Structure formats: structure tokens, C-alpha cells
Amino acid sequence: MKPENHPFSALSPDFILDAIESRGFRVDARILELNSYENRVFQIGIENREPIIAKFYRPDRWSQDQVQEEHDFLLELASNELSVVAPISLGNTTQFKAGKFMVALFERRGGRTPLIESESSLEILGRTLSQIHNVGAAKPFLYRPSIDVDDYGKSSRSWLLEAEFIPINLEKQYENISNELISRIEEKYSKYEAKNIRIHADCHLGNILWREQRPHFVDFDDSRNGPAVQDLWMFLSGSVSERSRQMTHIIRGYLDFREFNFGEVALIESLRALRMMRHSAWIGKRWDDPAFPKAFPFFNTEKYWVEHLHQLSEQLEIIEEEGISLNV
């Protein structure tokens, strides 16, 4: 697809400002595009008040019901005084249509990335996430999908093998490694029961703003049903002992407000492997978006796939290792 034919090419300054003004805001013509690959997000200047954030959803990714579930979850969390950035209510709705796009508006929030080295920060993260999960456990998403082996693993694998991104000389190797990896992950899931609840699902440091000694969670776009540990493991880094220390402090905070299923810790490396597989398929499915070749220039090269196969092979071994240990 030519860049000028991609749906996001319709987002001219006039189109964006007209969309915001249609909801009763008086814009001052200031537009700043913010970092976002999946959607397009802009800071919009508003006359005589703070700027707002406008999120133009990628067409045909989520249905209106799925977007509304994201918004409703955020509003539930906000009503429980949890630190999330909820959409601005526009009369009796939180979303509206502008051309092909579903649009939502948010207040602008600032903050810094939390210091992962700080034990107190880790425990605060754990406490906040346990409260988010208490709300998330009240009911499931009905329209949004779940994190599972079929969606993240098998469908990603099938799509990549059919899409012809993998070099021909590496296809068989990818087919074999990914098949074995999925089998190992299914074995892990059969041994350790995980309960799905509504979670953030893309909970990494880039989606947290730290302000006033507490975390503010942003970007629930990928929110879905999944195990609680999915929202915890992406904060971990370093050696096994360092990750064990970090997770120990997260869980200590988590237990202040919610019980934790310790069996889910054994699924961390399986969830990491599923995320790796899904990430590659995600890039491939978005390759016609001009932003993706610019952001991931090596994706369509043999070097990328050699490295990806190496990472998947490493995950095969890591999944079988003992993994992190907790001292809570």
C-alpha cells in the first residue's frame, strides 16, 4: 500500500482540528504528534485551558464495543480512585467517529519513568496493580480477546508462515522451533492453572508516569483478559537473582490488597515467548503503515529473522529452567 493510501494519511491538521472542534472544544491550532505506533495520538492546544490528548484509533482493529470496554474499565478504575488516565466523557459517550476513525479524548498528564532499582517504587507498583486487578476481577471483558496460546502463539505463527516475511531458507527452522516452543508452553499451562481477569496487558515502564510518589497508568489500548502475572513480569530486568529481588518486592506490595496465585510465576517465560511471537506478527501485519518500516527497518531482512530464531531457541531452554524465586 502506498503511504498516501493508508488510512492514517487522512489525518491532516485540518481534519484533526475539525474533529476536536466538532465536540465543542475551541482549538488554538497547536498540534503535537506523540509517540504511538498502533494508533495516532496528538496533543491538541485548547483556547484558555490546558491542552488535551486526542487518540485516533487504528481503523478495523477494535470494534466499537471493544473500545467501549477499554473506556468502561478505565472509568471503573478512576471511580475507585486509582491512578489511570480515563477518557473524557462527552455527554453520554467517551468515543466518537471522525471519518474512518474512532476517537477518544484524554486529559494531559505528565510524569517520569519510575526507578526500577527502588524497592519502595516496586512495592508501590505492586500495591497499585493489585487494586487495579481487584476491579478487573469483578467481571470479564465480553468483547475483547484473552491472552492465550492460540491467539498470541498459534495464530501469530500461522500468519507469519503464510505472509512470506520469513526468508525461504529460514522458514523450516522457524516452523520447527515455533512448533516446539508452543508445545512447551502448552505443557506449562497444563501444569499451572492461571485465572484470567481484566488486566492492562501491556504493562511496562513506558506505560507508567510517576508523579507525586505514585504511578499513573496509561495506554490501556491492548487491555484484555489475562493472568495477573502478565501485568507484573515486564518490570523485571537483569540476572535471575535481580529479577527475583524485583518480583519479591512487587509481590510484597501486591499482597497488601489482593491474594496472588504464585503458580503463575512459572508462566512468566512462557508469556514472554508468546509476546515475542506476537510482536513479530504485529510488525508484519502493520507493514503497510509507513510508520512501521521506519521504526523497524531490519524487520524485512534475514538478519532480523536469524536473531529472532536465536531468541526463540533461547526461550525454549529458559522455559525449562527453574526461573525466579520469591522471598515473600
Active-site residue (options: 219, 221, 231, 289): 219
Q: What pLDDT score was predicted for residue 3?
A: 60
Kind and range of the H or E element at 40? strand 40-46
CATH number at residue 125: 1.10.510.10
Domain end: 75, 107, 139, which one? Answer: 107
Instruction: Catalogue the E-assigned strands of the chain.
Output: 27-34, 40-46, 52-56, 96-98, 101-107, 196-199, 208-211, 214-217, 224-227
Domain end: 87, 107, 127, which one? Answer: 107
Q: Which three cell numbers stand for residue 237?
A: 530486568
Whether residue 219 lies in the annotated active site: yes
Single-letter residue type at 138: A
pLDDT, tens digit (0-9, with 9 covering 90-100), for 124-167? 999 999 999 999 999 999 999 999 999 999 999 999 999 999 99
Number of domains the chain is built from: 2
Q: What pLDDT score was predicted for residue 114?
A: 67
User: Is 70 exceeded by the pLDDT of residue 246?
Assistant: yes
Q: What percent of the chain has pLDDT over 90?
A: 84
pLDDT, tens digit (0-9, with 9 covering 90-100), for 36-86? 999 999 999 999 999 999 999 999 999 999 999 999 999 999 999 998 999
Q: What pLDDT score was predicted for residue 325?
A: 87
Which residue range forms the structural domain that includes residue 61?
A: 3-107
Q: What pLDDT score was predicted for residue 213?
A: 78
First vs last C-alpha separation in the chain: 53
Same domain, 194 and 291: yes
In 3D, which of 275, 238, 274, 232 has the Cα closest to residue 253?
232
Same domain, 182 and 275: yes
What letter does residue 104 receive in the DSSP assignment? E
Same domain, 50 and 125: no
Active-site residue (options: 60, 72, 150, 202): 202
Q: What is the distance between the alpha carbons of residues 267 and 273, in angstroms, rounded to a whole number?
A: 10
Q: What is the distance between the alpha carbons of residues 316 and 116, in angstroms, rounded to a whole number?
A: 27
User: Is 80 exceeded by the pLDDT of residue 112?
Assistant: no
Is this structure's pTM higher than 0.85? Answer: yes
Q: What pLDDT score was predicted for residue 110?
A: 77
Same domain, 76 and 191: no
Domain end: 107, 139, 157, which one? Answer: 107
Q: What pLDDT score was predicted for residue 4?
A: 66
Q: What is the distance between the alpha carbons of residues 116 and 89, in angstroms, rounded to a whole number?
A: 34
Q: What percent of the chain has pLDDT over 70?
A: 98
Q: Which three cell numbers stand for residue 220?
A: 490501556
Whether residue 148 lies in the annotated active site: no
Same domain, 88 and 192: no
pLDDT, tens digit (0-9, with 9 covering 90-100), for 214-239? 888 999 999 999 999 999 999 999 99
Q: Residue 4's beta-bridge partner residues?
A: none
| Contact status, residue 231 vs residue 199, Cβ threshold 8 Å | yes
| Residues in contact with 118: Cβ distance below 8 Å, sequence separation at least 6, in sequence order | none
Same domain, 164 and 63: no
